[in-house]
Amino acid sequence: MVETVTNVLDDSELQRILAVMAHPDDVDFGSAGAVAGWTDRGIEVVYLMVTDGDAGGFDDGITRAEMAALRREEQRAAAKCVGVGDVRFLGYPDGLVEATLDLRRAISRVIRQVRPDRVLMPSAERNYERIYPSHPDHRAVGAAALDAVYPDSRNPYAFPELLADEGLEAWTVREVWTTGGPVANHYVDVTEQFDRKVNALRAHASQTGRMGDELPRMVRGWLSANSRAAGLAEGRLAESFQVIGTA
């Protein structure tokens, strides 16, 4: 897996990565290929899903509570496809997420528990070229997660109850990667991880099961466009990110 920009942390500097996402399947659409490469190289990746995706799916025959339980299991199965075993859920209602202090505290708690070097999150910015990445939940989670990285999780006087009541000391995240935003300044070659990315997406059967063979064609099209933007060789596939330093 080739990373096309050099102003990022080297693998030797990475022990843990935390992916904070709004819904089950967000991490797989945006970055499952990169995640597979990281875990292959021995980097621990932890997923934090803010909602259970209870407003998703197409089946009127099951309750929203049943959908939430199903989507949690689908995300755990998808995570296994790319080498992730630690998947956590905050249980916020799908479609109603706001970047509140409570959400910032909840994400800060997990940052202090996991102590990641890098945090992956959705962009807080609206993408006017492609509307789908800019779901309100994505933007709210991106805003809250970025605030949790700075200043909340690194400041021992922010949410002092996390230290006083739970023994969670402040932690400084060294790097942030965002997905789905209007700006990309970093591309990861995921050609060798393409099949695993598709398998992870297929694990979200309640969302992708109706797509059949269109799913890999669609994903290949996106990744091919990213590869061309990155200047990679013909036939390569890439995921796109905006990398933000926090030092």
Q: Does the structure show a pLDDT above 80 at 247?
A: no
Q: Does the structure show a pLDDT above 90 at 129?
A: no
Strand partners, 89: 49
Structure tokens at 109: 């708690």
- Domains, the chain: 11-245 (3.40.50.10320)
Q: Would you state the pLDDT for residue 3?
A: 52
Q: Does the structure show a pLDDT above 70 at 5?
A: no
Residue type, 206: S
Rounded Cα gap, residues 32 and 201, in angstroms: 9
Q: Does the structure show a pLDDT above 70 at 2?
A: no
Rounded Cα gap, residues 183 and 50, in angstroms: 23
pLDDT tens for residues 159-172? 999 999 999 999 99
Q: Helices 26-40 and 64-81, interaxial angle, to 10°?
A: 30
Q: Does the structure show a pLDDT above 90 at 8?
A: no
- Cα–Cα distances (Å) from 219 to 29, 58, 69, 140, in that order, read 8, 21, 26, 25
Q: Would you state the pLDDT for residue 133?
A: 83
pLDDT tens for residues 48-62? 999 999 998 888 889
pLDDT tens for residues 174-197? 999 999 999 999 999 999 999 999
Q: Does the structure show a pLDDT above 60 at 4?
A: no
Which sign, positive or negative, has the C-alpha torsion 228, 34, 29, 235?
positive
Please classify residue 181 by burial: count the beta carbons closer than 10 Å to its beta carbon, then call 0-12 exposed, 13-18 middle and 19+ buried.
Answer: buried
- What is the rounded radius of gyration, in angstroms, for the C-alpha atoms of the chain? 17
